[in-house]
Amino acid sequence: MKKLIIAIALSGIAVATYAQDNYFTRNGKAAFFSSTPIEDIKAINEGVVTVLNVTNGNIEVSMLNKSFQFKKALMQEHFNENYMESNTYPKSAFKGTVSMEEVELKKPGKYDVTVAGDLTIHGETKKIQVPGTIEVKGENLIANTVFKVVPEEYGIKIPGTVRNNIAEEIEVTIDLTLQPLVQ
């Protein structure tokens, strides 16, 4: 993805002409929430990087697993060392498309979109399709989606002793304020 951004940033005239095609953020927010009768677990990552091409709808989202912050230090440690194995899999990422044909870029407002593509967590990639919204607000696009993830589907092993502490499905919320990417 970095090569994509470098190519865009350095491609001179093409970028100047189509400068409004690409939107970017380096501090998008990803939060996940697990609720069980035993305990609630919540973590937030405010360093999500995203590039969205509004012409063809291509989107790339990525984040560093070690940047997820938990209230409890021990939970954060377990998340990185035991579940995500962040030293081996530093990032979680999504690459796909957003149905931008539903969005009128010149008309402020909130639009329903569909997001489809490959979600990669813990080295495993799965195809997902989820609803989302894009809000046109001034120069920015505010993107939002909420979806569920089953940890086991991404090879995340949760020991039997704590299995009841963690929900079967984890709720993931993505909030991105995207700005036009200009040189």
Q: How far is the CB of 38 from other proteins (least distance, A)?
A: 13
DSSP H stretches of helix in the chain? 2-10, 12-17, 73-78
Residue 21 is a binding residue for other proteins (CB under 8 A): no
Q: Which is nearer to other proteins, 7 or 150 (CB)?
A: 7
Picking from 44, 43, 7, the residue whose alpha carbon sits closest to that of residue 28 is 44
Whole-angstrom Cα distance, residue 47 to residue 89? 17
Residue 150: CB partners within 8 Å, gap ≥ 6? 168, 169, 170
Query: Letter for the amino acid at 81?
Result: E
Site residues (CB under 8 A) for other proteins, limited to 76-105: 76, 80, 87, 90-91
Q: Which of 65, 121, 151, 166 binds other proteins (CB under 8 A)?
A: 65
Residue 137 is a binding residue for other proteins (CB under 8 A): no
Number of residues that bind other proteins (CB under 8 A): 28
Residue 2 is a binding residue for other proteins (CB under 8 A): yes
Residue 21: CB partners within 8 Å, gap ≥ 6? 53, 54, 55
Residue 1 is a binding residue for other proteins (CB under 8 A): yes
Q: Which of 14, 16, 19, 26 binds other proteins (CB under 8 A)?
A: 26
What's the burial of 136, exposed, middle or buried (CB within 10 Å: 0-12/13-18/19+)? middle
Interacting residues toward other proteins by CB under 8 A:
1-2, 5-6, 9-10, 26-27, 29, 46-47, 49, 62-67, 69, 72-74, 76, 80, 87, 90-91, 183
